[in-house]
């Protein structure tokens, strides 16, 4: 009798173990879906009026492409930029035509969210971009900084000091081609938004057009959840990123402490030896320029 009771007991345990496992998987899937639904697209032009900072990489002395190759994350006023986050698994995506781009086999990052750069001759570069008519960040891809096919084919990561309710950025896919000499098909840009614990909030893929593509995202309820952003692309000419929108001030009930539009700029000595750890800058506040 005791043996039969034990058998029944173990059978019940096995049955409920399967039920618990199934419920755990379902709960995880629902959690991912809930986080994805928490992020909605927002018009970049609207965010430019709502948010009080724009990171335009103006701290760096003007230098034509290929520009300054960074050996450490770029540090702005309340924001940092590098290539990816610790815990993510970088990979190389090779297209049928042989073009190679940075990719991620694991987008989730380690907690707390922190930036990493590299490998050597990759990461990001800052250069004057003719399309933007200003400095911009070029994510350096697998071909490396020295090769033109490596400039823009990499990935770029943005880390905010404070969690954001909304953010936006400008992506330049290619220069004008009035004679139609370059292939017409363009690639895509993927934006991955993460919370402070490294969890993926949403992944958004947008087809690119020639020139500037404006991207904006926000939380559905206005709560500050966005701590980091990763930008990937498959554009034949590579991309450059500029004018990252964010809120420097802490959030108060979904409103910024300062409603005025500001552009974060800074000063740094004009020196060829610019590969400084974190490239710390002395911030100035200039009137916002659309």
Residue 221: the pLDDT is 96
Domain boundaries defined on the chain:
1-37, 40-283
Residue 282: the pLDDT is 24
Query: Can you tell me the distance from the alpha carbon of 99 to that of 123, in angstroms, rounded to the nearest whole number?
Result: 18
Query: What value, to the nearest 5°, has the Cα angle with vertex 288 and ends 264 and 275?
Result: 25
Residue 250: the pLDDT is 56
3-class SS at 124?
strand
72 token code pair:
């450490």
Inter-residue contact 56 to 246 (CB < 8 Å): no
Residue 77: the pLDDT is 96
Predicted TM-score (pTM) above 0.95: no
Inter-residue contact 40 to 217 (CB < 8 Å): yes
Q: Which residues of the chain have pLDDT under 70?
A: 1-37, 175-185, 250-290
CA dihedral sign of residues 245, 246, 248, 249:
positive
279 DSSP assignment: G
262 token code pair:
């500001």
Residue 14 zone, left/alpha/beta (φ > 0; ψ -120 to 50; rest): alpha
Residue 35: the pLDDT is 57
7 DSSP assignment: H
Query: Can you tell me the distance from the alpha carbon of 239 to that of 153, in angstroms, rounded to the nearest whole number?
Result: 7
Residue 283: the pLDDT is 28
Residue 68: the pLDDT is 96
Encode pLDDT of 230-286 as tens digits: 999 999 999 999 999 999 875 544 444 333 333 333 222 222 222 222 222 222 222
Residue 274: the pLDDT is 27
Query: Can you tell me the distance from the alpha carbon of 35 to that of 13, in angstroms, rounded to the nearest whole number?
Result: 32
Residue 285: the pLDDT is 28
Residue 118: the pLDDT is 84
H or E segment and range at residue 60: none
Query: Can you tell me the distance from the alpha carbon of 104 to that of 90, in angstroms, rounded to the nearest whole number?
Result: 5
């Amino acid at each position: 009798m005791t043996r039969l009771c034990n058998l029944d007991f173990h059978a019940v345990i096995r049955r409920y173990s399967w039920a618990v496992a199934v419920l755990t998987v379902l709960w995880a899937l629902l959690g991912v879906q809930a986080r994805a639904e928490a992020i909605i697209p927002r018009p970049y032009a609207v965010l430019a009026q709502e948010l009080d900072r724009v990171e335009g990489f103006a701290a760096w002395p003007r230098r034509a492409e290929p520009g300054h190759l960074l050996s450490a994350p770029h540090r702005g006023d309340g924001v940092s930029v590098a290539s990816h986050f610790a815990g993510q698994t970088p990979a190389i995506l090779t297209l049928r035509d042989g073009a190679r781009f940075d990719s991620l086999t694991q987008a989730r990052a380690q907690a707390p969210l922190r930036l990493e750069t590299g490998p050597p001759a990759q990461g990001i570069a800052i250069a004057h971009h003719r399309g933007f008519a200003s400095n911009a960040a070029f994510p350096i891809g697998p071909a490396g900084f020295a090769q033109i096919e490596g400039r823009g084919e990499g990935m770029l990561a943005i880390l905010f000091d404070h969690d954001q309710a909304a953010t936006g950025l400008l992506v330049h896919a290619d220069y004008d081609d009035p004679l139609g000499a370059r292939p017409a098909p363009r690639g895509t840009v993927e934006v991955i938004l993460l919370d402070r614990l490294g969890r993926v909030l949403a992944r958004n893929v947008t087809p690119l057009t020639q020139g500037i593509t404006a991207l904006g995202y926000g939380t559905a309820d206005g709560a500050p959840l966005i701590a980091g952003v990763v930008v990937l692309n498959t554009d034949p000419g590579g991309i450059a990123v500029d004018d990252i929108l964010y809120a420097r001030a802490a959030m108060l009930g979904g409103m910024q402490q300062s409603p005025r539009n500001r552009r974060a700029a800074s000063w740094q000595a004009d020196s060829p030896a610019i590969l400084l750890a974190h490239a710390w800058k002395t911030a100035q506040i200039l009137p916002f320029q659309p």
